[in-house]
Structure 1
Amino acid sequence: MALIKTINQKAQTDKNSGFGTNANSYGGRFVNKDGTANVEKRGMHLFRRISWYHTMIDMPNWKFMSILFIFYIVINFIFAVIYYAIGIEHLDGIAQSQSILTQFGQAYFFSAQTFTTVGYGHISPTGFLTSALSSAEALIGLLSFAIATGLFFGRFSKPTAFLKFADNALISPYKEGKGLMIRVVPFKNTNFTDASAKVMLGMSVEDNGEHTIKFYNLDLELGKINALTLSWTLVHPITEESPLYNFSEEDLKKVQGEILVFITTFDNMYSNTVAARTSYTFGEIIYGAKFETMYNRSKDGSKTILHLDKLNHYQSVNF
């Protein structure tokens, strides 16, 4: 506990972290590795507490395309069932002598043609019910494609901070002492300028006999840069003013803590400010290591080569 008391006395706490202080109310980490809040919301109906637009915009591409594909198959199957229930004789162009499976398949593809408003004309509806159903399906198809187009546009036009953080933070030799190292790199063909970073430490400590969570600002050697084109290693010098000053490798294994990283930068393509964040628990901090250089001069000397596959490469060092 002497270590915890030393931290409380020397380190400057951050009261504007946005997180609570009751340690008993928290479960797991504060921020997930992908930057999302580690919070599950309850107490309200699902359809009120979830924004389906944001959900569709933020989900991975494979999941988004799978949902569209499944929706297309299912809704045409539903309409095909209704067409078949009304009666195949009301779909002019489907032979009555065909098998049930073939007739249903023809009804399904007629539904697909109607839903997409293609209308090849091989099959046409006859009778009031079938005509009304096909008209309603065409309207639903138009609205569905309008929504899908809007979602596609939203996903492509959404300003995104294409930044990737190293899997681990390091405690490395720095000048006459040591420092906390966190590496980030832009991995797309984007142009980022005016990048700034903020790093905080959240830790469960004992204060007057009670467990509480305190947050500390970690000063950076360089908190702002004019252009973020290569890898950027955020360095927090572990001096006497740092809450990590007395921490050893064993302390990182015993104490519960989390490093929160926030980066904002200006994307020239969208003329907009974008943000990225991540976190590292003490178990994800490697003591006694340093990052390997990610970039070098090309053979002809005309370019700088940034090796994205070296983001997590480091080597062990002795203090």
Structure 2
Amino acid sequence: MERISLSNSAFEGDNNAYLFADGSETVLIDTGDWMATTREQLEAAFSDRGLEFADIDRIFLTHWHHDHCGLAGEIQAESGAEVFVHAADAPLVAGDDDAWDAMYERQKQYFVEWGMPDDRQAALLEFMADGETTVETPTVTAFEDGDTFPVDDTELEVVHTSGHAAGLSMFEADRDGERVVFSGDALLPVYTPNVGGADVRVERPLAKYLRALQRIVDADYARAWPGHRDPIDDPADRAKHIIEHHKERSWRVLDALDRKGPCDTWTVSADLFGELDGIHVLHGPGESYAHLEHLERAGTVVREGTEYRLADGVAEELAATDGERWDLEY
């Protein structure tokens, strides 16, 4: 297996594609985005190894976001490769118009529910429209959690880790006598993947992502090969760190409500993240919503229309911490 680093202008850092070419097949995990520069980089990496796109037999995608699946259709057109993705993301990857229309409509509904001002909605929609492009979409084969696929001298096992995306999946494998995982965006070495805004189809996004992180902790992998940046040598420790990060963020949400009184998601987002631009206008309130929804289900926050307030007695509990972070139960 070889890691191929592909440029990405987003803050997550360079994308990774993983090439398996030591057996009877040539297999790729993720493809990078659809940009011409990415295609050139991937083609060059293949050429250095005496390969071309036409040699690819199978592609496994971690999820539907374009920086992970953008070239899947073009590669399939040249090679006839079978493209696999989780059933929840299959319609989007395959370019199903109804699935995409439903996504856009749900985003617009959330913009209103979150209290996003009209001018910011318009700017965000324009930004997302500018980023759209006509790409060759693949025919896909759907997989589910627990499915296994032989690759080289090992086996990839699907681990569904919904949260950041409805179909986000990792692939477990035994490599050199160790249990490792290709973690996509479920586990990243520097940033934490957005929950709530990155895929508005996900119900209870924070709860699902925390469950996925705990699954990584329990698996105690020897190494994670993430969708961005460098390998992670202690995946369990990194997952624990992200769990603590979300506990801290939930405390900050409660603190914002304590200081500001009842307010909407947009106001909480501004308190947490300040002024946002680009795609972060979607991600900031989305993340805030994910935490507010999680706290509401826990009974710590009460929702009234589009506004949230602290549940009775919570302000007193916060005051009793004397500025120390309240250790929330997750």
TM over 0.5: no
Q: TM-score w.r.t. structure 2 length?
A: 0.23
More strand by share: 1
Q: TM-score w.r.t. structure 1 length?
A: 0.24
Indicate the structure (1 or 2) with the bigger Cα radius of gyration: 1
User: More relative contact order in 1 or in 2 (CA 8 Å, sep 6+)?
Assistant: 1
